[in-house]
Every structure is written in C-alpha cells, then in structure tokens.
Amino acid sequence: MNLLLLGPPGAGKGTQAQRLMAHFEIPQLSTGEMLRAAVAEGSDLGKQAKIIMEAGELVPDGLMIGLISARIGQADCAKGFILDGFPRTTAQAEALDVMLDKKKLALDKVIHIVVDEEALIERIIGRYSCANCAAGYHDQFQQPICKDVCDQCGGENFSRRKDDNRETVQSRLKTYREQTAPIIPHYESDGRLVAIDGMAEIVSVGDEILAHF
C-alpha cells in the first residue's frame, strides 16, 4: 500500500500518518522529519536546509528528490509507505512519477486533507512533541492523558519546532499556496485523489480516511 498525504502546514498529515502507519504497518516518509534530523546532525544538507526551513521556504528539488528516492528503496518500504511532505512542487511530483515507474510501483491513494486556513495558525502554534519519542501533542486539541507526561514513552521533556512561529507559518502557507497547491490537479485527473474534511476531530478525520480503503 503506497499512500500520499497532501495538505497545507498544520492540516494533520503527520497526525493521520501515525494512525495509517499503525493500521497498514508501513513507514511514514516525512521529508520534514528527515530534514530536521539532518539539521540536528549538522550534516551539509542540514546546514543548507536550516536557513531555508526557518524562512518557511522550500529546500531545492534536486536534494529532496534524491533523498526520497533513496528512502523508498530501503527494506522497510517493501510492503509500502506513506509519503508526508513530498512532493511539494510540480518538479517533485513529476520526478515521483518517474521514480515510481522505474521501481514498478504506483500510488494506491492520494489523500488530500482539506482545511480552513484560519484554523492552521492556531494548530501550528499550539503544537509540541515528546523530545524522547517524538509523539505529537497540542496545547488544546491533543493533550497527554497525564499532564506533562508522554502517553507513549512516559518522557517528561517536550519540544517545539523552530519553524512553528507566527511569522514562519505565514510564509509556509504562502509557499504552500504558490508551489504545492498547484500539484493537486495532477492527482485529481486519474481518480486516485480522495478529499477528506480535515476540520473534523482528529479521530473522525482518521475514520473518514480509513473508510476509503
């Protein structure tokens, strides 16, 4: 099962990827997570990506295409994968088609999470995650069962993303509108695109997605 999650920053791609991973037992390939890991390592890619990400812009296509092509070839993707954050430009979408063709693979479904832009800033500014296992939470919408204790690993340290501030979010939304939203028709034309109401509660959004399988 090869899936693609599409939607603006804060739409809930990462949140729903967690549920899909557990359901289908396939990995989430989040290019944002890969880049944040490269930044934390201080690799050449990370040094280049850091400035771009903090400005809310996009890392060059060539780098991202190479990164995802290598990742899809890894053993844990043999049963399938969930793309989250890639493709983000027309060039990336076209490169993905070529890449999948060469590997004799195809996307089974493209899930477009549709949300009102006004809700996104609140979602992003309130987001945080466990510093130990990266489980995601929100100040208002997704709190741990025990205050300040991670539900998944019991960790007590949490962190917020550097690009989750009001100014960078505005820039990320603009980048999405200009460079990523135009790829949606690419997937609409062949009937694989499923539009999901991302304004419902987290569990309901997940149920609606799974109802399409």
Residue among 71, 109, 161, 192 flagged as catalytic: 161
Nearer to ligand AP5, 144 or 191 (CB): 144
CA 67 to chain CA centroid, Å, is: 15
Query: What 8-state DSSP symbol labels residue 142?
Result: B
Nearer to ligand AP5, 190 or 201 (CB): 201
105: phi then psi, degrees, rounded to nearest 5:
-120, 165
Query: What 8-state DSSP symbol labels residue 11?
Result: S
Strands (E), the chain: 2-6, 28-30, 81-84, 109-114, 127-130, 136-138, 158-159, 193-197
Q: How far is the CB of 32 from ligand AP5 (least distance, A)?
A: 2
88 catalytic? Reply is yes
Residue among 36, 50, 88, 123 flagged as catalytic: 88
Q: How far is the CB of 75 from ligand AP5 (least distance, A)?
A: 22
Q: How far is the CB of 138 from ligand AP5 (least distance, A)?
A: 3
- Going by their DSSP bridges, the two strands 193-197 and 2-6 should be labelled as unpaired
* CB 31, CB 95: distance < 8 Å: no
Q: Which residues contact ligand AP5 by CB under 6 A?
A: 7, 9-15, 31-32, 35, 52-53, 56-59, 64, 85-86, 88, 92, 123-124, 127, 136, 138, 141-142, 163, 172, 198, 201-202, 205
161 catalytic? Reply is yes
172 catalytic? Reply is yes
Q: Please identify every residue annotated as catalytic.
A: 13, 88, 127, 161, 172
